[in-house]
Amino acid sequence: MGKAICVTGAGGFIASWIVRDLLNKGFSVHGTVRDPDDNAKCGHLKQLDGSERLKLHKADVLDYDSIADAIRDCEVVFHTACPVTASTENPEDVLVPAITGTRNVLKACAQERIKRVIVTSSAAAVMFDPNRPAERIVDESCWSDTDYCKKLKQWYLLAKTESEKLAWSLSKEYGLDLITICPSYVFGPMLQPTLNSSSAVLKALVDGHESSYRDSSIPVVDVRDVSKAHILAMDKEEASGRYLCVERVVSNSEIIKILRAKFPQLSYPKECVAETSVWNQSGIRPDNLGREKLLGLITEFDIPLERMLFDTVSDMLNKGLLRAI
């Protein structure tokens, strides 16, 4: 089926689904992982249907030569590898891998004459701008304010914004065909055995460890729709630019209401408390989120909210990551 497709950070939450869906479509895949022999982190990839067409490369995005070797003989590259953390004492722990990794991957793509590069960015690079008028639709034309991210010491938000801007700068310098996908909180079943950051946000609402929940709303999308967006960005020649990947904005109280009806055996927080989180400060509302460009790419979301939440919690229960009371 032609040249292979490379997926960096192949063992991650989103990347694992991209690898799965590429294999299901008959592609050969080069996946980069820190250690191909570490079955705790990438054994699930070896069990995928079509895994005989999957080659795991020992590579680190901070090591240019290892990344260039993994990308060699590929036609398209999905760059998904990036540390995901809400906060850290040392901003360099997030900034250096994101920035240096992006630089190395795009340089290698240029060197290997890659046909198209799809970078997994984040809604974190889109949504956070205190100077944006409240009535303005939040869409792909929006960028997070880097000074604001620094002021809040939100280093992940800063890293995703800076690394995506760097990707666009380098794509122009190198003449690369670049597309970026900017997903929000990503829920859905996990192929990897360990809990990812977005799923941990949902788990915290139902694991009985908290007596209260915050009066806030978050933008969400299912991982299967995120993977779909990535692959259609590869398949559709007319695809271009950025895509904000958000199915809807949902409140914590609505999430709890939906899950309580489906999983009455779980322990839910009882008190709703005021929230002043960075998401609320961004002023995101269900009615000012632009999804038109994404829907032009994917046509429709396959996974509605209730199924998204049900499948995520069911998966955590099945994996023993969540227990009923």
Per-residue model confidence (pLDDT) at position 51? 97
Residue 6 has which token pair?
């490379």
Per-residue model confidence (pLDDT) at position 34? 94
Residue 252 domain-assigned (yes or no): no
Residue 260 domain-assigned (yes or no): no
pLDDT digits (tens, 9 = 90+) for 269-312: 988 887 655 555 555 665 688 999 999 999 999 999 999 999 99
Residue 297 domain-assigned (yes or no): yes
Task: Supply the DSSP symbol for 257.
Answer: H
- Please check the confidence at residue 49 and state whether its pLDDT lies above 60: yes
Residue 117 domain-assigned (yes or no): yes
Q: Say which CATH number the domain at 135 has.
A: 3.40.50.720
CB 183 within 8 A of CB 122: yes
In whole angstroms, what separates CA 10 from the centre of its chain? 12
Residue 212 domain-assigned (yes or no): no
Q: What is the mean pLDDT of residues 205-213?
A: 88
Residue 68's closest CA among 35, 19, 26, 101? Answer: 101
Per-residue model confidence (pLDDT) at position 270? 87
Residue 152 domain-assigned (yes or no): yes
Number of domains in the chain: 1
Domain, as residue range, for 60: 4-186+221-247+285-302
Q: Which residues are catalytic?
A: 160
Cα–Cα distance measured from residue 79 to residue 255, given in angstroms and rounded to the nearest whole number: 31
pLDDT, the chain, mean: 92
Per-residue model confidence (pLDDT) at position 314? 97
Residue 159 domain-assigned (yes or no): yes
